[in-house]
């Protein structure tokens, strides 16, 4: 399965430079190892008065594959999963 996910700029940069190799997400999509993800940088800070929700995306994306998935020590309904290069 493929998932498209919003990600804020500081977290997006950390994924790009390799400091952040995981995501913690609400498990409303049934994330599984082997699924693919597109992280879409989303910057609500640059929302102007006339900007739409779609215009808050920066057009920068990152493709990855979900590795290990666990709910251990997470808030109820949340999971953490590793990101591997696609």
pTM score: 0.88
Q: Provide the pLDDT for residue 81.
A: 98
Q: Provide the pLDDT for residue 47.
A: 59
Q: Provide the pLDDT for residue 29.
A: 97
Which residues are CB-contacts of 43 (< 8 A; sequence separation ≥ 6)?
Answer: 8, 9, 56, 57, 58
Domain of 56, in residue numbers: 2-85
Q: What is the pLDDT of residues 12-62, one digit of tens each?
A: 999 999 999 999 999 999 999 999 999 999 998 865 555 677 778 899 999
Residue pair 79/71 in contact (Cβ under 8 Å)? The answer is yes
Residue 22 belongs to domain with CATH number: 2.30.130.30
């Amino acid at each position: 399965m493929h998932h498209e996910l919003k990600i804020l700029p500081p977290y997006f940069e950390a994924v790009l430079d390799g400091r952040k190799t995981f995501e913690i997400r609400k498990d409303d999509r049934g994330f599984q190892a082997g699924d693919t993800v597109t992280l879409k940088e989303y910057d609500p800070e640059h929302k102007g008065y006339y900007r739409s929700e779609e215009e808050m995306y920066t057009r920068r994306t990152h493709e990855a594959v979900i590795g290990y998935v666990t709910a251990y020590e997470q808030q109820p309904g949340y999971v953490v999963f590793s990101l591997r290069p696609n």
